[in-house]
Structure 1
């Protein structure tokens, strides 16, 4: 099972559209995961239309329309692993402990908000992944997203992709 992870698209505030490289991957992924801060419903409509399966939440910048269509926290079993998606997890310091306590039933938690890519393990069991942002790099060197694979109850091939800078 192929996963495509993104967050903090902030369209059309930070960019006019999703990067072509990312859009090309959407229909090929078995599951697209978006960890909030869409800003516009058109991006949600686009991903719902092009994705085989979409697992998504709203973020702190998302208004009433997106909040009426998306949960604050989403859960799914994918390939034998228990996934959760949430936008905010708080400060980086103490994140592993807080998330392990808040989500004891999960194997993988995908989150966003900071625009800072993150890949760590809490309590030797909970994998924490933040794909960064494909449209708003802030202080990061590149805009980013992640891909991963799930098979037989194992998460493998987690990869952070740096997008080329737009001119």
Structure 2
């Protein structure tokens, strides 16, 4: 099962559309995971139209319309891999311990908000992944998203993808 992980798309505030390589990856994926900050409901509509399966939450920049359509925290079981998706996890210091305590029954936590790619494992085994942002790199050298595979009840092949500069 091929996964696309993205967050902080901020459409159309930061960009009119997603970069073509991300749309291509979404079209080919089995599951798309979005960790919030869509900004506009049209972005959610586009993801829903192009994704085979979408697992998503809202972010701090998402208004009432998006909040009525999406949960604050999304949960899913992907062939035995239990995941949670949330926008904000707080400051980087102590993140692994806080998230392990907050999400004791999941194996993978996908989050956003900072626009900073993140891939760590808490002492409990919880894998924390932030795909960065495909449209607003802020102080990062590249706009990014992630891919991963689920096979045999395990998350494998997690990869950060750098997008071309706009």
Deviations 1:39-76 (A, max 9, x none): 00111000100100000000000000000000000000
Q: What runs of 5+ residues in structure 2 fail to find an aligned partner?
A: none
Does structure 1 residue 91 correspond to structure 2 residue 105? Answer: no
Q: What runs of 5+ residues in structure 1 fail to find an aligned partner?
A: none
* Partner Cα separation in structure 2 for residue 97 and residue 25 of structure 1: 32
Distance apart, 1:124 and its partner CA? 4.2
Deviations 1:75-132 (A, max 9, x none): 0000211000000000000000000000000000000000000000011410000000
Distance apart, 1:26 and its partner CA? 1.1
Tell me which residue corresponds to 1:136: 136
Partners of 1:80 and 1:151 within 8 A in 2: no
* Partner Cα separation in structure 2 for residue 14 and residue 126 of structure 1: 31
Partners of 1:115 and 1:133 within 8 A in 2: yes
Matched ranges for 1:115-130 at <5 A: 115-130=115-130
Q: TM-score, normalised by structure 2?
A: 0.99
Tell me which residue corresponds to 2:29: 29
RMSD across aligned positions (CA): 0.6
Tell me which residue corresponds to 1:39: 39
Tell me which residue corresponds to 1:13: 13
Q: How many residues align?
A: 166
* Partner Cα separation in structure 2 for residue 27 and residue 142 of structure 1: 22
Moved beyond 6 Å, runs of 4+: none
Q: TM-score, normalised by structure 1?
A: 0.98
2:12 partner SS:
coil
Distance apart, 1:25 and its partner CA? 1.2
